[in-house]
Amino acid sequence: MWGSTPRDSGSVGVGIAVEPRLELCYDLKLSGEPAGTAAKLLESNGVDLSKVKSSNPLPWSFGYATSGASAVAAAHLASYLKGKSLGSLLVQAHEIEVQDRTGLGDVLAISCGLGLVLRRRAGPPGIGQVDCLYLPRSISLLSIEAGGMSTESLLSSLGDDFYVESSNVLRKLDEELSLEAFIESVRALNDKLGLPSSILGAQNFEYVTKVPGLLGYYTKKRLVILIIERDLVGDAVDYLRKGLPYDIRELSPSEAGPYLR
Ligand SMILES: Nc1ncnc2c1ncn2[C@@H]1O[C@H](COP(=O)(O)OP(=O)(O)OP(=O)(O)O)[C@@H](O)[C@H]1O
Ligand SMILES: CC(C)(CO)[C@@H](O)C(=O)[O-]
C-alpha cells in the first residue's frame, strides 16, 4: 500500500520470523560495515558509523528481510546510545525502507519479531498493527535458495490474483492466528498460484513435496521455505541436497523479538 508519504505506506502480510539473527555491534573489533537503511538511520541520528559493525548470517536481497532487520537493529542501537525513543526511531526506520524501496512491512513485522508474525494493519510500528505467535520447538525451517531478487522486481511481479488470494488468507488468519491455519492456507495459496513450481520447476517441486518430515511450504521472492518436523530435519537436508541444484539453509523460528545486550 503506497500512501502520499512513507508514513502512510506499508503492507499487511504473514510470515515467520527466523534465526539466525542479524546483529549490529558497537565498539567491538569486528569486520562488516553497516550499509543501506541501517547506515542512514545511524548517521542521521549522530551515531559514529566507524564504531558500528554488522554481522549478518543470511544473504542480502534474497527475501530474508535483512534490510528491515538491520533497520530495526539500528533503531535499537541509536535509541540506547542517543537516548531517543525507540518508537520514533522505528518510524524513521520504516520511512527509510519505504523511500529506498527495500521494504514495506518488514520493520513492522520485525519490531514484534518472534514466531509467526501477522501484520493486521499496514504502516510503521505504532500506526500499523502487528501480532506474533510463539511456534513450537518441534518445528524447523529449511530454505531452498533459488536466487536473489530486488524488492522492486518482486512487487512488480505480483498480479491481481496474488492480492485477491492473499487477502483471503489474511482475513482467515485475522480471525484465527494458528500454525495449523497458516500452514493450510499458505500452502493452498502457493499451490493455486503455482508459485513453488514456477521458482523451482515442476519436476524439482515434485521432488520437494516428498521430503521427509514436510508439514508445509510457502515462497517469498525466489526462496521456497519448508516447514519440517525438527526430528527429521537431518534426513530432509540430506534428501534435498542430493536431488536439488540449490543451496539449502536451516533456520529456526525466532523465539524472541529484537533486543539489545
Ligand atoms: N552490508 C549491508 N549492511 C546493511 N544493508 C545492506 C548491506 N548490504 C546490502 N544492504 C542493503 O540491503 C538492501 C537489500 O534489501 P532488499 O529489501 O532488496 O532485500 P532483503 O531485505 O534482504 O530482503 P526482503 O526482500 O525480505 O526485503 C540493499 O539494497 C542494500 O541497501
Ligand atoms: C515488500 C516486502 C515483500 C519486501 O521484503 C516486505 O516489506 C513486505 O511484505 O511488505
- Is 231's pLDDT higher than 80? yes
DSSP-derived pairing of the beta strands 247-253 and 223-229? unpaired
Cα–Cα dist 185/218, whole Å = 10
The rounded Å distance from CA 27 to ligand 1 centre is: 23
Cα–Cα dist 194/188, whole Å = 10
Whether the CB of 103 sits within 6 Å of ligand 1: yes
The rounded Å distance from CA 53 to ligand 2 centre is: 25
Per residue in 142-195, pLDDT (tens digit) is 999 999 999 889 999 899 999 999 999 999 999 999 999 999 999 999 999 999
The atom number, within ligand 2, closest to the CA of 10 reads: 10
- Domain covering 139-253, topology: Alpha-Beta Plaits (3.30.70)
The atom number, within ligand 1, closest to the CA of 67 reads: 21
- Is 204's pLDDT higher than 90? yes
Give helix 66-82 / helix 36-44 axis angle, nearest 10°: 20
Q: What is the ipTM of this complex?
A: 0.90
Whether the CB of 60 sits within 6 Å of ligand 1: yes
Give the mean pLDDT of 93-120. 97
Confidence of residue 29 (pLDDT cuts 50, 70, 90): confident
Whether the CB of 103 sits within 6 Å of ligand 2: yes
Give the mean pLDDT of 113-139. 98
Give the mean pLDDT of 29-52. 90
What is the structure's pLDDT at 27?
86
Mutate to test the pocket of ligand 2, among 62, 96, 106, 157 (most ligand atoms within 8 A of CB): 106
Per residue in 61-78, pLDDT (tens digit) is 999 999 999 999 999 999
Task: Tell me the one-letter amino acid at 221.
Answer: K
- Domain covering 6-132, topology: Ribosomal Protein S5; domain 2 (3.30.230)
* Domain limits, the chain: 6-132, 139-253
What is the structure's pLDDT at 32?
76
What is the structure's pLDDT at 31?
72
